Amino acid sequence: MSLAYLGIGSNVNSDEHIRAGVMALRNAFGAVGLSPAYRSAAVGFSGNDFINLAARIETRMQPLELKEFLNALENSYGRRRDLPKFSDRTLDIDILMYDDLHLHCPALVLPRPEILQYAHVLRPLADLAPGLVHPATLQRMSDHWRDFAGDSSGLVTVDLLL
């Protein structure tokens, strides 16, 4: 079994889509560890605020197989892939880390660079797994969050019944 960390987000009927996505992950993988959820402004475009959280799953799927599964899950909740990268999302589930794998291929980069770039990705991951070591930097997520120099001012904890 491999351990995968996922980033989950939505800014379209967020509560509904995130609950549905988490339920689908539980149905597929069993126990799912979850971080607190955070509200933050859309990045790269003008849109509704996003709700983001991190999840931990155990899987027998290989990384590209898991990515295909997650893409199909997103599609089943109305994810549009014909829009610009920075646009509204009904459900967005990204693989952030997969074991300590380094992967650079056109379909998938691991660990996901956004972990260290955006508060809405790093904070939930650091909450969920503070001792998790980033395979490229060899630093713990809690240390990355403590030293985060980006903008985290708009990050607000929200209650979701998951």
Query: Can you tell me the distance from the alpha carbon of 93 to that of 29, in angstroms, rounded to the nearest whole number?
Result: 14
Query: Can you tell me the distance from the alpha carbon of 35 to that of 7, in angstroms, rounded to the nearest whole number?
Result: 10
pLDDT band at residue 43 under the 50/70/90 scheme: confident
pLDDT for residue 102: 96
Q: What is the mean pLDDT of residues 98-125?
A: 97
Report DSSP state, residue 133: B
pLDDT band at residue 61 under the 50/70/90 scheme: very high
pLDDT band at residue 100 under the 50/70/90 scheme: very high
Mean pLDDT is lowest, of 53-57, 77-81, 115-119, 145-149, for: 77-81
Q: Where are the alpha helices (DSSP H) in 30-161?
A: 63-76, 119-128, 141-146
Contact criterion met (CB below 8 Å) for 51 and 23: no
Q: What is the mean pLDDT of residues 2-30?
A: 97
Mean pLDDT (the chain, rounded): 94
Report DSSP state, residue 114: G
Residue type, 71: N
pLDDT for residue 141: 98
Query: Can you tell me the distance from the alpha carbon of 38 to that of 9, in angstroms, rounded to the nearest whole number?
Result: 9
pLDDT band at residue 153 under the 50/70/90 scheme: confident
pLDDT for residue 52: 97
pLDDT for residue 156: 94
